[in-house]
Amino acid sequence: MAQAPRIGDQGRYELIEEIDSGGMGIVWRGYDTVLDREIAVKIIRPDAIGSPAHAREFALRFRREARVTARIGHHGVPQVFDALLDQSSYDRLYLVMEYVRGTSLRTVLAGAGAGAGADGSGTSLLPVSWAASIAAQICTVLSYAHAIPVVHRDLKPDNVLIAADGTVKVLDFGIAKILRSDVTRLTATGNPIGTSRYMSPEQINCGRITPLSDLYALGCVLHELLSGQPVFSGDSDFELMRRHVDMPPERLRTLRPEVPEGLEALTLELLAKAPEQRPADAYAVYERLVPHLPLPGTDDGLSALPGMDGRAPAGVADPTVVYRQPNAPLRRTAVPSPAAEPAPPVPPAPAPVPADTVLRDAIRDAYARSADLADDGRFTQAADVLKAVIGPAATALGVQNRRVLGLRRQRAAVLMAGEDYRRALPEFEALAAVYARTAGPSSRETLECRRSAAGCRANLGETAAALREFQEVLELVISAEGDASVTAIDLRRNIGILLYTEGDRVTAEGVLDALHEDMCVVLGEDDEETREIADLLLRLRRPEG
Concatenate the DSSP letters of all residues of 470-485 into one string.
HHHHHHHHHHHH-TTS
| Nearest residue to 36 (alpha-carbon basis) of 415, 493, 478 | 415
Half-sphere exposure for 209 (CA within 13 Å, toward CB) = 23
| Nearest residue to 126 (alpha-carbon basis) of 153, 142, 103 | 103
- DSSP code of 236? S
| Nearest residue to 451 (alpha-carbon basis) of 402, 502, 486, 482 | 486
With b for 16 or more beta-carbon neighbours within 10 A and e for fewer, the 499-524 pattern comes to bbeeeeeeebbebbeebbebbeeebe
* Choice among 32, 82, 91, 154 that is catalytic: 154
* CA–CA distance, 405 with 153 (Å, rounded to integer): 50
Cβ-based burial of 306 (10 A; exposed 0-12, middle 13-18, buried ≥19): exposed
Is residue 322 within 8 A of residue 304, CB to CB? The reply is no
Task: Report residue 245 CA to chain centroid gap.
Answer: 38
154 flagged as catalytic: yes
* CA–CA distance, 349 with 21 (Å, rounded to integer): 36
* CA–CA distance, 102 with 317 (Å, rounded to integer): 8
For residue 424, give the amino acid letter: A
* CA–CA distance, 293 with 326 (Å, rounded to integer): 12
CA triple 347-349-351, angle to 5 deg? 130
Contacts of 464 (CB under 8 A, 6+ apart): 502
**Would you please indicate which residues are annotated as catalytic (active-site) residues?**
154
